[in-house]
Amino acid sequence: MSTTEKLNSRECDIYEQLTAARSYLRTIDDFYARAAAAHNTTFEHYQVLLAVHCLEAAELPLRVLAEHLVRDRTATGQLCKRMQQLGLLDLTYEANSHRPQLLVSLSGRGKEVLKAITEDGLRDRNKYLNSLTPDKRHYLAEAVRFSWLDGLEQDIDSSQQQPHTHQQSNLVGR
């Protein structure tokens, strides 16, 4: 096999892995979207509940939540107010501030809904994964690992090599 053929083969593998990872992640999102609908909420609401829970703040500033969700602050505020009306979130304003911020926290009902959707989504995910052959599960795991971590692992490798190279250049200069 020529070098060009090897490169084309590698490129095809890269795109195939990225496509497989994206398809798998969309499938997983669909499990959670269906679970959210079964609990009379939306996938968007589930993502907000999950973000508020995972950011582990008793009262999360709206701007932090908006940044995490990669959403406009105003749109995020409107979404949170609708979720408050549904009893999923508690909203308060920061005390003792000349420019109070809106603070977001999970309500009791929001915690229950988050837990129920997560459990249903995980159960459906596990059913899906168990329906696949072991080699297909392994391929999906590798594709997801590649799409998320491959560049990061390369960055770590190069950053670990960089100080070594710098030390070598210092030794050469002496």
Q: Which domains does the chain have, with CATH numbers?
A: 3-131 (1.10.10.10)
Instruction: Give the pLDDT confidence of 115-163 residue by residue, as tens digits.
Output: 999 999 999 999 999 999 999 999 898 888 887 766 655 555 555 555 5
Distance in angstroms (rounded) separating the CA atoms of residues 79 and 34: 20
The answer to pTM > 0.85 is no
At 28 the three-state DSSP class reads helix
Amino acid at 133: T
How many residues are there in the chain? 174
Nearest to 50 by CA among 144, 117, 109: 117
Q: Which of 12, 20, 10, 19 is nearest to 139 (CA)?
A: 20
- 65-93: average pLDDT: 96
Cβ-based neighbours of 81, under 8 Å, separated by 6 or more: 91
Q: 94-110 pLDDT, tens per residue?
A: 877 777 889 999 999 99
> When comparing pLDDT for 15 and 39, which is higher?
39
Q: Give pLDDT tens digits for 16-28.
A: 888 988 999 999 9
Q: Sheet with 102-106: list strands edge to edge.
A: 60-61, 102-106, 89-93
